[in-house]
């Protein structure tokens, strides 16, 4: 079935460091891909999305490119801030009801 695999965390970085969180997927057809962020005690918020191959989603300095050939959607940010500390989830949209399937989540901790 459809699935999403994310790199395990936690990822610990210093402020202004470069961030990469790997995400690969398995799906039939052509899924849409998403990154969600979950801050402590809150629900999920959509960070960015891409709907077809080679699309680049971007928001708040984060970027991810839909790579069909490698079935990947890695999240990157050039310079992280302490406020970026959160759990990041990669997800794909699949199924007749367009349900979202999530990866395991990657916890990011950014220190001053």
Partner 1 sequence: GAVVSQHPSWVICKSGTSVKIECRSLDFQATTMFWYRQFPKQSLMLMATSNEGSKATYEQGVEKDKFLINHASLTLSTLTVTSAHPEDSSFYICSARDNPTRNYGYTFGSGTRLTVV
| Binds partner 1 (CB under 8 A): choice among 45, 59, 79, 81 | 45
Using rule CB under 8 A, residue 104 touches partner 1:
yes
Measure the CA angle with vertex 94, ends 90 and 97; round to 5°.
Answer: 125
| x-or-dash string of contact with partner 1, 46-75, rule CB under 8 A | x--x-x------------------------
What's the DSSP call for residue 71? Answer: T
Instruction: Select 34 or 62, whichever has its Cβ closest to partner 1.
Output: 34
| Binds partner 1 (CB under 8 A): choice among 29, 40, 42, 70 | 42
Report the candidate in 35, 10, 40 with the shortest Cα–Cα distance to residue 90.
35
Using rule CB under 8 A, residue 100 touches partner 1:
yes
Report the candidate in 110, 102, 109 with the shortest Cα–Cα distance to residue 44.
102
């Amino acid at each position: 079935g459809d699935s999403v695999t994310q790199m395990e965390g936690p990822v610990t970085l210093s402020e202004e460091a470069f961030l990469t969180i790997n995400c690969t997927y398995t799906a039939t057809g052509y899924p849409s891909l998403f990154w969600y962020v979950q801050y402590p005690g809150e629900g999920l918020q959509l960070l960015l999305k891409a709907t077809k191959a080679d699309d680049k989603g971007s928001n708040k300095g984060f970027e991810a490119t839909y790579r069909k050939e490698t079935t990947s959607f890695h999240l990157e940010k050039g310079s992280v801030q302490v406020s970026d500390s959160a759990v990041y989830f990669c997800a794909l949209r699949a199924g007749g009801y367009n349900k979202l399937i999530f990866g395991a989540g990657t916890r990011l901790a950014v220190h001053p």
